[in-house]
Chain A
């Protein structure tokens, strides 16, 4: 069985073009997939950091900070990602280089992966800010007042009271955002970053086997989103531990 399956990947057979080594494109595909995952994870992590800072400053920061973050989230969510990616793609290296030059260092060429992560992370950060802000707002205010009455420090309140209760509210939004992030990595194809979608187009364009490669890539994305869905379902169950069960469809 296994032998006959691997026979499909021989050159000239049905899936020969997907074989690992040349003339197959498996390796190119795997590199693209790896880049997609790297950017997605990196951008999501950066977005999480921005989101935590953003939600904290929108809810508890000074008025100027609040306005600035409101401006940031509104603008990022109103402008197409493609445009933002292009603006930041030109802007981020230029800013970093001008800082480096003014400090007396040499101009550097930033690795594409890093630019991709920063660019996408800034976009994810805006959505993450809103997800976390909403989740924190959903924590009953009495809980926080009670904690304050106990004399807890703000950090203790955040860690012991707000965090455990907001997680259950935040997970669905965060799961959605993760799925969007994995799909948005495809947009980096327009700045020439060879992630999965661009690799697919290259492989398909060279071999003219458009259907094979696009369907294969589509399946990979579907597997990613299905597995992520499972993962977040488990995390949500963990986060809802000890909370009253919500009826399905009671939104």
Chain B
């Protein structure tokens, strides 16, 4: 994008006024608000640790969830009824109940069940199952899979039938058709939706703080509890989330631009 197009709209009088107001506000909050806690929490690594936890939870749940969503979408769009029905039920279940309820159900429900089962109690996975993050990751993943499964159902159905027939005529095996023709075109059509859903997924990650995972949100909650400073950690938190959202939007915009425009 050229610089003039970026700057010129900002030079209108009312925008200049808003810009000045924003600068004054930022300056005011930098001077009068209490930011003295930042060096402490930076040096003890809490801020970075929280940021890292948030980001990898987002990334991992996105990747695993999307992988599941492809199959959920495929089952609903083209599968036989005994696959389509459970897939549809799963998506409705996930989309019809709050994520917080699902997360608490997994964490408290399964968390109270597991210790009473001997082979889990003494199993290899027990050290992990005692921690909170697997439950957070699992519920975030299931949630993303549920929502994206619905998106992918529409996406798979939206691919022109001729494309699939042509691929079949070339003698491609079914998995190759999926990998080379069906999936790429389906994903292309829903890229804008996927971008929005990724932002929603980012906004869902702080829920893991309610089950004691130390993510970015939980770090700010801890600052609030330890220093009794209320607004400053929350404001910084909001700013960081806005930055991550902006990055996600930019990434998806870049990917969308790579997609060749369709000729009709």
| A residues at B contact (CB < 8 Å) | 63-64, 67-68, 71, 75, 77-84, 86-87, 90-91, 179, 183-187, 189-190, 197, 200-201, 204-205, 208, 210-211, 214-215, 217-218, 221-222, 225-226, 249, 251
Contact = CB atoms under 8 A, between A and B. Distances in A.
Interface stretch (B26-34, B67-75, B93-101, B172-180): B93-101
Nearest to A36: B98
5 closest cross-chain pairs (CB), A and B: A186-B98, A210-B109, A80-B203, A214-B105, A78-B245
B95 to A, nearest CB: 8
A210 B238 contact: no
Nearest to B207: A82
21 contacts: A67-B15, A77-B199, A78-B242, A78-B245, A82-B207, A83-B217, A90-B234, A183-B98, A183-B99, A187-B100, A197-B100, A197-B104, A201-B108, A210-B108, A210-B112, A214-B105, A218-B93, A218-B102, A221-B101, A222-B96, A225-B97
Interface residues of B, number: 44
Contacts of B93: 218, 222
SS class, residues of chain A in contact with chain B: helix
A197 B98 contact: yes
Nearest to B221: A86
A64 B18 contact: yes
Interface of B: 12, 14-15, 17-18, 92-93, 95-102, 104-105, 108-109, 112-113, 154, 157-158, 199, 202-207, 209-210, 217, 230-231, 234-235, 237-238, 241-242, 245-246
B231 A87 contact: yes
B158 to A, nearest CB: 8
A83 B96 contact: no
A200 B97 CA distance: 13
B207 to A, nearest CB: 7
Nearest to B199: A78
Contacts of B99: 183, 186
Given A90-B231, A183-B97, A217-B97, 10 more contacts: A64-B18, A78-B245, A91-B231, A186-B101, A205-B108, A210-B113, A214-B108, A214-B109, A217-B101, A218-B102
SS class, residues of chain B in contact with chain A: helix
A205 B107 CA distance: 12
A80 B206 contact: yes
A248 to B, nearest CB: 10
A200 B95 CA distance: 19
B202 A210 contact: no
Contacts of A217: 97, 101
Most central of B92, B105, B206, B246 by chain A CB within 10 Å: B105
B101 A218 contact: yes
Given A67-B14, A79-B203, A211 B98 contact: no
B18 A67 contact: yes
Contacts of B112: 208, 210
A83 B210 contact: no
A116 to B, nearest CB: 15
A66 to B, nearest CB: 9
A78 to B, nearest CB: 4
Nearest to A62: B14
Contacts of A222: 92-93, 96-97
B104 A214 contact: yes
B238 A87 contact: yes
Contact of B238 (A79, A189, A225): A79
